[in-house]
């Protein structure tokens, strides 16, 4: 049986959130902007399957700590290093962390421009 990434992600989100929510709940998700397109697509599938409404708070990475200190969220979507910091600080529920994706970063240089040393 071949499962798509979206199916796995929706199922993972459902398992994480369902352990703490009543039916037809509002699910509050804190995310960095770089993941919002994929996260909102996954959330749309999750909403159809669960009848829960997903409410996103999108912030730049440097505002995540402030948001976590001021508000409560059901799920947080962050980079692995940021997640490590919050794990060490005890901000997250132990064993609730799930890797959703890997991201590559590229650099494009205008023809004839200086090529940066990216190694």
Which of 67, 53, 43, 1 minimizes the C-alpha distance to 23? 53
pLDDT of residue 98: 82
Residue 29 vs residue 35, higher pLDDT: 29
Q: How confident is the model at residue 20 (pLDDT cuts 50, 70, 90)?
A: low
Which of 4, 12, 74, 5 minimizes the C-alpha distance to 49? 12
- The residue-averaged pLDDT of 42-66 equals 90
Dihedral angle, C-alpha 81, 87, 93, 94, nearest 10 °: 110
Residue 18, pLDDT > 60, answer: no
Q: Distance between the two ends of the chain, CA-based, in angstroms? A: 39
Least confident of 13-22, 75-84, 99-108: 13-22
């Amino acid at each position: 049986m071949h499962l798509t990434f979206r199916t796995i992600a929706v199922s993972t989100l459902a398992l994480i959130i369902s352990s703490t929510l009543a039916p037809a709940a509002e699910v509050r998700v804190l995310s960095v902007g770089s993941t919002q397109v994929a996260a909102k697509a996954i959330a749309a599938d999750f909403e159809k399957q669960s009848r829960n409404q997903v409410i996103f708070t999108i912030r730049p990475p440097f505002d995540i700590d402030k948001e976590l200190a001021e508000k409560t969220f059901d799920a947080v979507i962050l980079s692995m290093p940021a997640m490590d910091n919050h794990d060490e600080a005890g901000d997250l529920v132990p064993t609730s962390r799930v890797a959703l994706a890997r991201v590559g970063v590229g650099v494009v240089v205008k023809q004839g421009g200086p090529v940066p040393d990216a190694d």
